Amino acid sequence: MADGGATTTGGYPGFPGKIGRIREESEPHWPPPLRPRPGAPNIVIVFMDDMGWGDIGCYGSEIATPNIDGLAQRGLRFNHYTTHPICSPARAALLTGRNAHSVATGWLANNNPGFPGYFGDIPLDAPTIAETLRAAGYATVMVGKWHNSTNGVAPNQTWPTYRGFDRFYGFLEGETSYFFPARLVYNNIVAPIDEYPPGYYATDDWMDKALGFLTEIRNQNPAQPFFLYVANNAVHGPLQAKEADLATYRGRYDAGWDALRAARLERQRALGIVPAGTQLSERDPLVPAWDDVPAEHKALFARHMETYAAMLDCADQNFGRLVAFLARLGELDNTIIVFSSDNGGTNSAGPGGNIHFNRRFAGLPALPTAVDTDRRDWIGSGRASAVYPMGWAQVSNAPFPSYKTYTGGGGRRVSFIISWPDKMKDGGAIRTQFAHVIDVMPTLLDLAGAQPLETSHGRPAKPMQGNSLAPVLHDATAPAPRTEQYYECWANRAYYRDGWVAVSLQKRGEAVDFDNWTLHAHAEDFSESIDLRRQHPQKLQELVEAFDRAAWENMVYPLDNRTPTQKFNELPPHQRPAAGGSRRRFLPGSQTVHRGVVTPLVADRNFTISVRIRHGAGDQGVLVAIGDVTGGLVLYIEDGQLRLTYNGFGEFHSLLGPPVGAGAHVAALDYEARGGRRGRGRLMLDDVHGDWAELSPTLMNGMHEGLDIGLDRRAPVDWDLRERHGVFRYGGTIEEVVIESGPFAPDSPYGKA
């Protein structure tokens, strides 16, 4: 029907322009683009992992950190900045400006015990700094370690790109190899990496990608400010470093931890980062005097700290690359840079350290020190999952007592540096005002002129609990914007108020002691070494009561002081493996199946892994691999025979199976968990099976990698096999892999989780 020419006034709902039937009768309208305020600064956070208060040069260390020290000369150092003393909670607090328990992250993200303060995923009504800055017109970039998602298997609303980051490159869990990172994620996909190039090292890779992302942003838009979050996993275990960096520190720690710790305190006094009268806290009773350490152990222990220092040196080199890039852009002076750590140095490997530290996550005791001594040269390489002895952690945390996961000074007090040359003119100065990790986000928003979000993901936004430090940054005499703060981690507790701190530390696996508080006064005891509870019982009671109120307000309760095995192996009911067994089929042609999918199928239980193949004469290679250098198994064909290497978290076993001729076959490993973490296995080819042989201990958590089909990607289960064949791709055809899980061992902690 022809148009009669009549016009109808009106338009489209919500469109402010005018709409007619033709362009000449219409008026266009363009929504104004999102623009940050003129001159808005770039913002960079460089976050270290498990780095102690005294580990960088400008806080008294002997480790070479000239680039970080240069940041301190351009900016400000805080000597009373605190954090939540373990990674996931510290990162959640940093990203949200809210207490960790109040955003459901009172413990590690991948261990959900089923209580509101510990669910593990930052709730959607707690907007992150990335979401807030993106809404203010910033480009947002993250590289490195996330560790704030309970579901690392498939993309979901907890992943970085769903929580405000335009670009993400890194890993989602708590730790990974530096030479062979497991399951790197690029935005929302698992990066298709089968093997890394020679010379690869994760700390370098994070900075390569960060600088690439920033270059991309500048090429697209020369004026848009950016927010960059460099979430290093250095210097978290496994202790692994490049040989060139290791060479710098060979022999530097032969004097031992007592001498190195005392020397750090002297430098701290000289720098003015601690008051002149500061004393070292007493050496932990579990840490032997260095003079009492046997000579063969001294060489082993020193190798750990040489590696730790080399890792931090490498992180500093990469920080220098970032600073040089910003200077080349001409934007260094208008970039706010924050440098800090998630928590202090760790005592988790005990007095002797541990080359095969991931045995702890698998619920296994450490191997004898003699084994570590024989394998000393593995430390620093990709072959070991080493963590240093706790004597070095006392050096890292000097002058404070205690460690990561503990609420004493060594766990919760970390270095903090902030620089903004355009606006902060007191370069090189030290601020003594109290501050906490939740103050970082409100400070950066304040400095950038960005408003906190009122809504988040369709819900009213939780208000931030942090306070801006901006007044302190501009005025050395300004009062601290915060005067009190609670702390809790693994049932350890503390409460700070107006220069006083009460601390309660627990013994793992024992009933929580609600009455073992100590009391410290910072005005006379910077290192928290003097217990004043008997002199000031009323002050102690005041702080204990304040902790209890804050604990209820922030969802800290219930306290959980179970052992590492109990905590690390707990799963919600819907994620627990079927106790009676199950059958799972896996197909070749995908990236590594996530460890969280595979581990429950083989953890401390009977299982059979069957691989259906079409084999040609001369074909060889890996059929299936589970795990990596930390622990696992690899089933392969080499020189015409079916073979197995079983890595029981540093205890190695090999099986030789039947010869494999050309044709269709089913190759299998049959495994029996016998209790007490003992197990045995046999190889089968079709109807032919070998004899049972010892394969102990049973597998459990602690592996970084999951399931590979047709090759052993990235970190190998069998180091010598990798030396011979690389990732060792199978030359024949794999039709499917089937894992049939049977009953758990009678005493299995996994089955009872």
**Is 471:424 a contact under the CB 8 Å cutoff?**
no
- Which of 84, 101, 147, 356 is catalytic? The answer is 147
> Which residues have C-beta within 8 Å of that of residue 103, sequence separation ≥ 6?
92, 93, 96, 122, 123, 126, 462
Six-digit token string for 743: 């009953």
Query: Nearest CA to 488 among 110, 122, 105?
Result: 105
Angle at Cα 180 formed by Cα 176 and Cα 183, nearest 5°? 60
Positive or negative: CA dihedral 346, 352, 353, 354: negative
R_g of the chain computed on alpha carbons:
28
469 phi and psi angles, rounded to 5 deg: -90, 5
Known catalytic residue: 87?
Answer: yes
Can you tell me which residue has the tokens 């239980």? 605
- Which of 58, 84, 87, 436 is catalytic? The answer is 87
Can you tell me which residue has the tokens 């899980």? 741
Six-digit token string for 300: 């082993």
What are the CA-CA distances from residue 10 to residues 2, 16, 18, 724 (Å)?
21, 11, 8, 76
3-state SS, one letter per residue, for 406-444: CCCHHHHECCEEEECCCCCCCCCEEECCCEEHHHHHHHH
CA dihedral 98, 104, 110, 115 (to 10 degrees): 150
Distance (Å, whole) CA 13 – CA 417: 51
Name the pairing type of β-strands 693-694 and 688-689: unpaired
> Which residues have C-beta within 8 Å of that of residue 94, sequence separation ≥ 6?
45, 47, 129, 342, 437, 438, 440, 441
Can you tell me which residue has the tokens 């990974």? 176
Burial of 370 (C-beta count, 10 Å sphere; 0-12/13-18/19+): exposed
DSSP 290: G
- Separation of CA 468 from chain center: 26
Burial of 198 (C-beta count, 10 Å sphere; 0-12/13-18/19+): exposed
Distance (Å, whole) CA 406 – CA 279: 20
HSE (side-chain half, CA atoms, 13 Å) at 27: 6
Query: Nearest CA to 331 among 458, 171, 215?
Result: 215
| Beta partners for residue 613, in sequence order | 665, 734
What are the CA-CA distances from residue 476 to residues 83, 99, 493, 505 (Å)?
22, 26, 30, 34
Distance (Å, whole) CA 331 – CA 428: 20
**Is 388:403 a contact under the CB 8 Å cutoff?**
no
Provide the b/e sequence for 448-485 (b: ≥16 CB within 10 Å): bebebbeebeeeebbebbbbbbbbbbeeeeeebbbebb
H-assigned helices in 449-587 = 470-474, 537-553, 564-568
DSSP-derived 3-state class of residue 155:
coil
Distance (Å, whole) CA 63 – CA 54: 10
Known catalytic residue: 147?
Answer: yes
* Catalytically annotated residues: 87, 147
